Each structure stands twice: as structure tokens, then as C-alpha cells.
Amino acid sequence: MITLLTIFSSCASKQKAEPKTSIYDIKVIGLEGNPINLSDFKGKKILFVNVASKCGFTGQYEELQKLYDTYKDNLMIIGAPCNQFGSQESGTEEEIKTFCQRNYGVTFLMTEKLNVKGDQQHPLYTWLTKKELNGNSSTSVKWNFQKYLVDEEGKFVDYYYSTTNPLSKKITKHLTP
């Protein structure tokens, strides 16, 4: 006989699971060549975004900066320059930094250029896109400015395609205490 407890337990087991590995153990290098210690952001949500300077979505840098300015007490945004989609991020690290600061006033963190898909996929994006590691969802990065949200405890929350504006309620509903 099936009880409500059995049904509830079954449904609960399909909810988000604990990550198999900690995102805080992944090594990431910043745009200026210094390590970014993800564990420094325990207690904050982290929004990871693969970015590019010559993309139709590049204007989202402005909204990402507004999002960061609004929620920086509870949120870190980490942009990951990527040249895997239409070669839209072909610049050097210095060119990327200058472009982002000059055109959009970017103050949130930026990584060195990363591969977000394929055989050379960076371990950060392997974690973000593989359910076996993040405990929640398997995805693939479709284009520049795809976003991945991780909670204060390092658990995968959700991902958002490039067409989702950074200031969308889909994202901001997770950021208010």
C-alpha cells in the first residue's frame, strides 16, 4: 500500500541533492593571473557567466554590474571570458579587462579565458554542467552569457540561457534574503 509518506519521500528524493564534489575545491585563475579562491565566497551566492566582448549579448555586462552593485553583500558575480562561440572573445586578458572597465565599469571578478565545453572544458564548467558533480542538473553551455547560480553553501541552484536578462526575476528571486 502506498502511503503519503512514501509519495513524499519519492518526490523529495528527486529534489536537489548534495553536490558530489565541492565547488570550493575547484582552482580558478583570475584575469590578472592571480588565483580566485571560491571558498572566499562561502555565505554568498555566486553567479557564473561565460562572457564575450563581441557578442550580441555583450550589453549584459551593464545589467550584470547593476546586479552586482545591488546585491554585492550577498552575491559574487564571476565572469568567465570564453572564445568558443563564434570567436567572440579573441582579445588578450589585458584587452578584456580594459574593454569591460572602460565600456561597462565592471568591478565584479573575471577569470582568465576558459573553455566552457568540449575536451578542454575547465573543471569549473565541468562541475556546473554535470549532475554527477553538482548533484542537481546536467546542462550544456549553448552560447555566451549563459548563467549558473550557486547558493551560499556551494549548491547548484539553476542555470539561465543567454536570453535571460541578469536583472530578471528568474534570477533576482533567489537573491533577496
Q: What is the CATH number of the domain that holds 117?
A: 3.40.30.10
Closest CA to 151 of 61, 45, 59, 63: 45
Show the domain range for 90: 19-164
How far is residue 176 CA from its own chain's centroid?
Answer: 18
Does residue 73 form part of some domain? yes
Q: What domain count does the chain have?
A: 1
Q: How many Cα neighbours within 13 Å face the side chain of 2? A: 4
Query: What is the mean pLDDT, run by run of 10 residues, along the chain of 177 residues?
Result: 44 56 95 96 97 94 97 97 94 93 95 96 97 94 97 96 97 90
Asked, for residue 134, whether it belongs to a domain, the answer is yes
Residue 55 is among the residues annotated as catalytic for this protein: yes
In a domain, 11, yes or no: no
**Cα–Cα distance measured from residue 72 to residue 18, given in angstroms and rounded to the nearest whole number:** 25
Predicted local distance difference test score (pLDDT) of residue 18: 74
Distance CA 41, CA 37 (A): 8
Name the catalytic one among 11, 55, 82, 100: 55
**Global pTM value:** 0.88
Going across the sheet that includes 75-81, the strands are: 109-110, 75-81, 45-51, 147-150, 156-160
